[in-house]
Each structure stands twice: as structure tokens, then as C-alpha cells.
Amino acid sequence: MTKPVVLFVCVHNAGRSQMAAGWLRHLAGETVEVRSAGSEPRDQLNPVAVEAMQEVGIDITTAVPQLLRTETVQDSDVVITMGCGDACPIFPGKRYEDWALTDPAGQPIEVVRQVRDDIRTRIEKLAKELQTA
């Protein structure tokens, strides 16, 4: 069986989607292929998101915001969007979820920690579902 491909999408690909990708890599290891992208990617990660993830032992400093491409969606099995609206193309047969999460851009570390922890809870559930699929 091939491993599932999970794509996390947010507007800037600098905070939420990168934290989600970091969590899934950390919790699922090599059992899942993880991607992330943004409809309007920034040139660097949100430093507060990086700091919040480092607090729990996850290093996302090497991640680079990527532009969302139709092919990336097409080549993914699960697409999780986080506030990017209709920017994400829809393909039949894919699993889509939209996670309503606070945008960490410009937020203090206390708010970003809450977003990080909310994402972890969702990732734990997703990882279990992927293992039993």
C-alpha cells in the first residue's frame, strides 16, 4: 500500500499550514507524505509560529513557503484548507477538510500557542484516521 499524501493549505503558508505539516511529520513519521502550500505565500515563515513549535520540540525552520499549484492538489489524497477560501481547486475522489483556525500572523505567542495546540489535536485525530484507512 502506498502511503497517503496530505496537503495543508493556508493563505501565506507561513504559519498554520507549516505548523500542521510539522505536527503530522512528528506524529506520523514516514507513514504519511506531508506537503504544504499557500495561495499567496510569504517569503519566510512566521517567526512566532517557528518559536511556538520549537517549544514542543518540533523544528520547522527549514520549511519554505510554497505556492499552491493545481498539480500539488491533484497529487494529494487529503487536502486540509485553513482559511484560503476558494483558492484551492477541487478534484473528485479527494478528501477535503476545512479547519477554521485563527491566523497566527501578527498574533502574540500566547495566541499562537493556542493555535499550535488546536492543530495538534486535529492532527492526532487525522493521523489515527489515516492509519485505519
Give yes or no: 62 in active site.
no
Exactly one of 84, 101, 119, 126 is catalytic; name it.
84
Identified catalytic residue from 11, 52, 73, 88:
88
Active-site residue flag, 10? yes
Catalytic residue among 10, 49, 50, 79: 10
Q: Which amino acid is at 101?
A: L
Q: Is 74 considered catalytic here?
A: no
Characterise 125 by phi-psi region: left (phi > 0), alpha (psi -120 to 50), beta (else): alpha
Active-site amino acid positions: 10, 84, 88
